[in-house]
A and B are shown apart, each in its own frame.
Chain A
């Protein structure tokens, strides 16, 4: 037990100190996320459309949270390949579950920080008021979505084990596709009909749909001063889907990762150069 905790902490410890050493890059990355989100939200402000502004703000915040979470997990193995430490991590007596749990916890910290920064920026740049929003409800939805995104991230993390270069490319392609099909800034029914079935497969679609209801987007009673938020019971459907996706995707992610790892050990792909 104590050993497991220490091992989980190892990945947090490593992540923290790497963040410290690469702090300027972290600042740049957060700055870029902030300006990107503000630029999008200002489209709604320019259109004098409060509902649109709110949609864009919610989309930007959620996408930041989920994409940082996914990306940090998915790229963790790629970073280790670049550093050349992957073999040492893989020969340590640490179970893959603990390994990926540690990475996921660190990723979660990262996305909380990033989302807080973006939220602060949006407060500065848009006349945003969250009065009336069902914030506890939003937190519940985010928590449920975290499970599913950890599963996706773990699955994607296996790609750089397969191939250092192609793998990292693959994780980004997948992230881009999620952004497109999940309707981050628009309702998914504006997507071409052949894409729409895909959006049903993305957990982010449900996160967004639920959170919009919980801040009162689409509710005619919502005004600039006061949001007419739905109660948590109004998003039970989305929550059930998200939790179910988490329960499928996390074991699936671990299974895929395990398969890829043993394949890599048979073919020699763990080696630093190739």
Chain B
């Protein structure tokens, strides 16, 4: 049996807010209070949760940008944070904010990333341009400063950047939030195609239930740092006895809201 692409076991993370006037660090609620799940190779897993439920924190930990307080993470068999140098070659990330040098052009931003990864600039650029083409972007805008691009375009460029290294694992943090319906559909179609063609494993967070249903083989509901339900869209609807995934989401994430409100309660598994 092949190893799962993502293995997360009892993952915990808590932030401390530094108070003014040198009071002691005040611990906040657990951003992740013992989250466990697995994603099989080539699967797309959707992580859904209200704002502040810990989705981005989880993605940051998997992206080697944040070190967890406890628990176990393995990406394609490599442990984090111990093997982060290895893992960095295997992941592409798209965050909700398209983080670019806004004064630089699309081309310059992409070439910078290619060089940063030590890739051959010419072939990396070809790869990125191919992705942009598939996402429905035109070639002639690529030398204008990126700040002149719409949010949808920036997000597509962000996806092209993440794919330049051909990552077997793609971490997408709300990639379609704030996009117009057409761009959103472009991105979704592209991701479906990517999974089918390349067998890329995708971890996706979103607020869009239809998107999750369309793209994800399995879906997890995150609330207050806990994974409160997990399964196929169909399974989740059944579990909540709800007609739509929307209803299931609201039902299942609110049920546990009270439990999650105790800030220093010991984190539990799931």
Contacts and interface: CB of A to CB of B under 8 A. Distances in A.
Contacts of B57: 268
Interface in A3-42: 3-4, 6-7, 9-10, 13-14, 17-18, 21-22
A91 interface: yes
B250 interface: no
A270 B118 contact: no
Interface stretch (B2-10, B33-41, B105-113, B192-200): B105-113
A66 to B, nearest CB: 27
Contacts of B117: 7, 92-94
Contacts of A9: 115
B67 A88 contact: no
A17 B112 CA distance: 10
Of B60, B101, B115, most buried by chain A (CB within 10 Å of CB) is B115
Q: Majority SS of interface residues in chain A?
A: helix
Nearest to B118: A3
Interface in B132-173: 145
Contact of A18 (B91, B95, B104): B104
Contacts of A88: 93, 99, 113
A250 B93 CA distance: 32
B208 interface: no
B16 A22 contact: no
Interface stretch (A79-87, A139-147, A214-222): A79-87
B106 to A, nearest CB: 12
A87 B66 CA distance: 10
Nearest to A21: B103
Contacts of B185: none
A205 to B, nearest CB: 35
B65 A265 contact: yes
A89 interface: yes
Interface in A245-274: 262, 265-268, 270-272
A64 B5 CA distance: 52
A90 interface: yes
Given A13-B111, A18-B104, A265 B89 contact: no
Interface string B173-185: 0000000000000
B88 A87 contact: no
Contacts of A93: 85, 88-89, 117-118
Interface of B: 15-16, 57, 60, 63-67, 81, 85, 88-89, 91, 93, 95, 97, 99-104, 108, 111-113, 115-119, 121, 145
Given A92-B113, A268-B60, A271-B60, 18 more contacts: A13-B108, A13-B111, A14-B104, A17-B101, A17-B108, A18-B103, A21-B103, A22-B103, A84-B99, A85-B100, A87-B60, A88-B93, A91-B64, A91-B91, A93-B88, A93-B118, A266-B66, A267-B16
